[in-house]
Amino acid sequence: MIIFNKFNPEEKLFAKINKLDNFFNADKTIIVTELDLTNECNNKCTKCIGNNHLKDQLAWKEIRHIAEGLQELNGQGVILSGGGEPLLHPNFIEAVGLLRSHGLKVGINSNCLSLNEDIAVAIARDCEYFRVSLDAGDASMYRQTHGMNEESFGKVINNIKMMARVKDEMGSKLSFGTGFLTSEQTIGQMEAFVRLSKDCGADFAQFRPYQNDLTDVTDQYHDIKRRYESEGFKVLASTQKYSMIGAMERKAYDKCRGMFFSTVITANARMYACLHHRQNDAFLIGDMREGQGKTLSQIWNSHKKWYVYETIDVKHCPLNCRNDSINGTLHNMSMKVAHSEFL
């Protein structure tokens, strides 16, 4: 039996052998889509990379078309996250159920401020994971990272506890945890964050680096992981991202092959090749609102996708991007190997 690390994208990729075969021998097909239901947000994160100022929101009809299109493309998973706070969409509960009914596994990244009992039940019933972007161990750090006051911090903490209770009462298999973006600013609160997450009833606490932040937290992470996992609490990290910190080469590949396995659909119904380049025309694959309205399959299979692939200069992409480790793996697999018969 092969055990895959749920936070190593390259290992996840090998769990989808049929998709790899399609990549090298047939049509390119999606595995995961990041879907922005809305650009509205109720936080004021100091390092926000979303598109809150655009105020866009997907209509219910568009969400239905996206679910149908992803099913047609044999998509596997959908992450509701993105340009704003997904829980603020008026049809959030219905959207989760709709995506699930089309054979898609759903994950949620949220600041958790707008969570209520009905939403918690829907998440526990229909989602694979729910990660709360907490990024703090106390109200003071929360103000620095999320730009919100002590009252908001207290509400989020109570909502995390509520989610843990609902999950337990329903006997849900939901993977429920908290996220913490590491940087020089936040490194001192890593353990406080883990302790708070554990006390609130989360299943895990996860560390990830801020985009393009090179602060090395390896020693702190392993120390905290060792001590808290001895108490039965999971402490995770995007190890493939941290392992690249200090690397001599910015990118060890020349093409973004990962764009054929993951995409992002924004709150204005546009598909982009990369979640890190939302609203960047150079990464635009297609617009569902353009003309008479194109289907998702038409957009995905258009010549524009190939044009974007050929013109992306990965040297200008963020460090530790989501596709980084996948791109490295696909680059190596795409290379011609002499005498490959002789292992």
Residues 41-63 have a mean pLDDT of 85
Q: What is the mean pLDDT of the chain?
A: 87
How far apart are the C-alpha atoms of 134 and 103, rounded to whole Å? 30
Cα dist from 173 to 87, 118, 214, 307, whole Å: 20, 17, 34, 41
The pLDDT of residue 329 is above 90 = no
262-265 vs 234-237, strand pairing mode: unpaired
> What confidence category does residue 315 fall into, taking pLDDT thresholds of 50, 70 and 90?
confident
| Contact between residue 64 and residue 295 where contact means Cβ atoms under 8 Å apart | no
Structure tokens at 112: 């958790």
Residues 44-54 have a mean pLDDT of 75
Give the amino acid at 148: M
- Residue ranges of the domains in the chain? 29-334
Closest CA to 222 of 238, 204, 231, 235: 235
pLDDT of residue 50: 65
- Per the document, the length of the chain is 343
pLDDT of residue 254: 87
The pLDDT of residue 7 is above 60 = no
Taking only the tens place, the pLDDT of each residue in 171-196 is 999 999 999 999 999 999 999 999 99
Q: pLDDT higher for 238 or 225? A: 225
How far apart are the C-alpha atoms of 89 and 303, rounded to whole Å? 32
How far apart are the C-alpha atoms of 105 and 43, rounded to whole Å? 27
Residues 13-42 have a mean pLDDT of 74
Highest CATH level, class, for 29-334: alpha beta
Contacts of residue 236, defined as CB under 8 A and 6 or more positions apart, other chains included, come to 7, 177, 204, 205, 206, 207
β-pair partners for 208 = 181
Taking only the tens place, the pLDDT of each residue in 112-154 is 999 999 999 999 999 999 999 999 999 999 999 999 999 999 9
> What confidence category does residue 328 fall into, taking pLDDT thresholds of 50, 70 and 90?
confident
pLDDT of residue 326: 83
Q: What is the number of H-type helices and E-type strands within the chain?
A: 13, 10
**Burial track 83-118 (b if 16+ CB lie within 10 A, e otherwise):** bbbbbbbebbbebbebbbebebbbbbbbbbbbbeee
How far apart are the C-alpha atoms of 254 and 242, rounded to whole Å? 21
